[in-house]
Amino acid sequence: ISSCKNLQDLNLSECSAVNDEAVKIITAGCHILLYLNLSQTEVTDQSFRSLARNCH
């Protein structure tokens, strides 16, 4: 997913394999991502703080 440079919308809700490491990989490559749904995943507050700091 991180190689999809033009990705703007990503819904990963209820994907049990999605965790903090997955979010780090996604945000490293998807610089124009406008919508990211992570509801009911294994993502912690740490990833949300990182998203807030790194996404403009």
Residue 56 has pLDDT above 80, yes or no: no
CA distance linking residue 44 with residue 32, whole number of Å: 22
Q: What is the pLDDT of residues 4-21, one digit of tens each?
A: 889 999 999 999 999 999
Strand spans (E) along 1-56: 9-11, 35-37
Given this model, what pLDDT does residue 10 score? 94
Given this model, what pLDDT does residue 49 score? 86
CA distance linking residue 35 with residue 38, whole number of Å: 10
Given this model, what pLDDT does residue 8 score? 93
Q: What is the pLDDT of residues 24-49, one digit of tens each?
A: 888 888 888 899 999 999 999 998 88
Q: Which residues pair with 36 in a beta bridge?
A: 10
